[in-house]
DNA sequence: CACCTTATTTGACTTAGGTCAATAAGTATT
DNA sequence: AATACTTATTGACCTAAGTCAAATAAGGTG
């Protein structure tokens, strides 16, 4: 629904109506508690807001950037979702991550100033672009911005470790269960339903991410449904037995962190 | 040999001889180009040095910290190596990473102030402990410290993405080849031999990390040896055909970064 | 609406890698 | 040095998941 509304924005940033533009400022953004402005004053948030670029929404298949591109800045998804992937030497697409609203993209490119993956949008998606050099200038002025950026980097490291743990824990059921639970908890922390959501990625994309064959993903979905763990119809998923799914997948011990405010 | 020398240090920090103590300062540490002081002046490095704790060397099986412990600070290995792991609900040890000299540990704990994994040393190991609150104070004073910390966090994100890619690329050969190449390039950037090194971890630990069975790791080593790709005898490894190993394992496109100075 | 294309599901068969078991090679202990 | 203990290797067998192929379901298009 948000997409429909945003679909009307066909023109560039400068042509946006002032009311819409107001909705798109950091100060009034619903994602603020997950994003960079955590802990910042009104005035500081305004400063941050002033360096952010908000482009026309991207459409399915559009790219935020491509692997090898010079690093310009980080992106924050505000609506929609994207995949991060690279092409291996066999020409296959390997998906390294999916990003939802409030999540930062491009953090891995800070240290060598080159994006190491391509990022393509999975559905109509809006994103804020934060030019890194300007962001860095601001961090020296605004200590809580520096702190929050570090926290978000740390959280990303944490998530990636979690993913390593999931992928190393062999079975297809464990992987898919963990994947669904991860999505669920991420939706939840965005005040969306933790139990019922739409997958924006295809089975093939899930398979690539989890290191499985498409058919295995499909079969595992079916098996979960037979077992009454969930209902699935194409992209629509309804989790029926979170407990059982957690028993399958939740191996990594960091339920520790979920729910704890980032700025502790 | 380094271990033997350090083995003599039986007393606490305060009792170290002044010459030894000098060798252990950031200003004279050989790992500086990989570590936090990158880009810092002599005076700034001295400030950093003054907050660093250097404990008696740890011995095999000792822990730097355990999962669930309150986050105190980050550690930098100066010699030896460690594993980071957690215990899953079946009571099995799941290894999430290995760390070599110059690598930072505990970065994933910044955001929620709790270590999410345990870290145990694999051989006699020295590490610097950098208390985080003090480090944070210093970052506001020293811009290049802030920058380098961010770069190291970013690099960690990058490495973890790489690991996700490796684990998702199914085959045992690909995984082991990638693992060996990763070690090789890390040794290389520490001015150690990229072709001949000792594994400080057991086959079981490699298996856990790569999401394989021990037997598979062992068999894959044997197969690589039969194919003339390497020579292996227990912990000793000599890579004979890096090219061929890279063909097997090197799927992720970030040879981009290796060799590029961190502060670019 | 009929047609085409693409995504998903399901079945049949194959295989990489897991499991179990035995052996061998180191390590540590007395 | 003899013992027990641990770690690594190798073989035999089995199973989870991959591959190939076909059927079904959605979506998109003229």
User: What pLDDT does B46 receive?
Assistant: 95
Burial of A49 (C-beta count, 10 Å sphere; 0-12/13-18/19+): middle
pLDDT tops 70 at residue A225:
yes
pLDDT tops 70 at residue B5:
no
pLDDT tops 90 at residue B7:
no
Where residue A259 falls among pLDDT bands split at 50, 70, 90?
very low
Alpha-carbon distance of B207 to B95, in angstroms, equals 9
Where residue A253 falls among pLDDT bands split at 50, 70, 90?
low
* More confident: B48 or B89: B48
Burial of B117 (C-beta count, 10 Å sphere; 0-12/13-18/19+): buried
* More confident: A38 or B170: A38
Q: Which residue of A has its CA nearest to B207?
A: A168
Where residue B248 falls among pLDDT bands split at 50, 70, 90?
confident
Q: For chain B, how many residues are written?
A: 264
CA dist list (Å): A19 to A24, A44, B15: 9, 22, 68
B38: helix, strand or coil: coil
**Count of pairs with CB atoms under 8 A, one residue in A, one in B:** 181
User: What pLDDT does A222 receive?
Assistant: 96
Contacts of A107 in chain B (CB under 8 A): 153-154, 157
B136: closest CA among B36, B29, B68?
B36
pLDDT (average), residues A145-166: 95
CB B58 within 8 A of CB B124: yes
Where residue B18 falls among pLDDT bands split at 50, 70, 90?
low
Contacts of B155 in chain A (CB under 8 A): 111-112
pLDDT (average), residues A239-258: 73
Residue B219, token pair as written in the block:
């068999």
Least confident window among A80-89, A125-134, A231-240, B243-252: B243-252
* Strand-by-strand arrangement of the B82-87 sheet: B63-65, B118-121, B82-87, B93-99
DSSP state of A66: -
Q: Directed axis angle between helix A42-51 and helix A132-141, to 10°?
A: 160
pLDDT (average), residues B136-141: 93
Where residue B224 falls among pLDDT bands split at 50, 70, 90?
very high
pLDDT (average), residues A239-259: 71
Q: Which residue of A has its CA nearest to B142?
A: A140
What percent of chain B is helix, strand and coil (3-state, nearest 5)?
45, 20, 35
Q: Is the CB of A236 under 7 A from strand D?
A: no
Q: Is the CB of B116 under 7 A from strand D?
A: no
Facing residues of A73 across strands?
A: A131
User: What pLDDT does B169 receive?
Assistant: 81
CA–C1' distance B208–C21 (Å)?
Answer: 21
Where residue B69 falls among pLDDT bands split at 50, 70, 90?
very high
The beta-carbon neighbor of B153 closest among A147, A153, A163 is A153
pLDDT (average), residues A196-222: 97
Where residue A17 falls among pLDDT bands split at 50, 70, 90?
low
User: What pLDDT does A251 receive?
Assistant: 60
C1' of nucleotide C19: residue with nearest CA = B213
User: What pLDDT does B258 receive?
Assistant: 42
Q: Directed axis angle between helix B143-168 and helix B132-141, to 10°?
A: 120
CB A174 within 8 A of CB A180: no
% of chain B at pLDDT higher than 70: 86
What pLDDT digit, counting tens, does each position of A183-205 carry? 999 999 998 999 999 999 999 99
pTM higher than the cut 0.85: yes
User: What pLDDT does A3 receive?
Assistant: 39
Contacts of A87 in chain B (CB under 8 A): 253
User: What pLDDT does A92 receive?
Assistant: 86
Least confident window among A53-57, A146-150, B209-213, B223-227: A53-57
| 8 Å CB contact of B150 and A155 | no
The chain-wide mean pLDDT, for chain A, equals 87
Q: Which residue of A has its CA nearest to B170?
A: A211
* More confident: A12 or B53: B53
User: What pLDDT does A5 receive?
Assistant: 39
What pLDDT digit, counting tens, does each position of B146-174 carry? 999 999 999 999 999 999 999 998 799 99
Long-range contacts of A6-13 (CB under 8 A, 24+ apart): A6/A57, A6/A79, A6/A124, A6/A126, A7/A57, A7/A124, A9/A56, A9/A57, A10/A56, A11/A56, A12/A55, A12/A56, A13/A53, A13/A54, A13/A55, A13/A56
């Amino acid at each position: 629904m948000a997409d429909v509304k945003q679909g009307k924005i066909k023109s560039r940033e400068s042509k946006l109506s002032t009311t819409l533009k107001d909705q798109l400022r950091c100060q009034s953004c619903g994602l603020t508690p997950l994003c960079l402005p955590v802990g910042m004053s009104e005035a500081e948030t305004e400063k941050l807001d002033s360096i952010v670029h908000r482009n026309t929404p991207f459409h399915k298949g559009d790219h935020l950037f491509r692997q090898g591109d010079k690093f310009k800045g980080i992106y924050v998804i505000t609506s929609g979702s994207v995949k991060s992937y690279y092409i291996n030497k066999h020409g296959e697409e390997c998906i390294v991550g999916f990003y939802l609203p409030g999540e930062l993209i491009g953090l891995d490119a800070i240290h060598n100033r080159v994006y190491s993956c391509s990022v393509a949008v999975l559905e109509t998606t809006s994103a804020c672009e934060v030019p890194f050099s300007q962001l860095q200038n601001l961090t020296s002025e605004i200590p809580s911005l520096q702190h929050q950026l570090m926290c978000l980097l740390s959280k990303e490291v944490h998530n990636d470790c979690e993913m390593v743990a999931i992928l190393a824990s062999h079975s297809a059921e464990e992987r898919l269960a963990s994947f669904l639970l991860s999505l669920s908890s991420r939706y939840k922390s965005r005040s969306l339903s933790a139990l019922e959501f739409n997958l924006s990625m295809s089975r093939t994309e899930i398979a690539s991410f989890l290191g499985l064959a498409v058919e295995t993903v499909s079969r595992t979905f079916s098996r979960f449904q037979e077992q009454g763990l969930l209902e699935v119809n194409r992209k629509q998923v309804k989790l029926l037995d979170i407990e059982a799914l957690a028993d399958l997948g939740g191996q990594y011990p960091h339920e520790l962190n979920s729910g704890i405010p980032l700025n502790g």
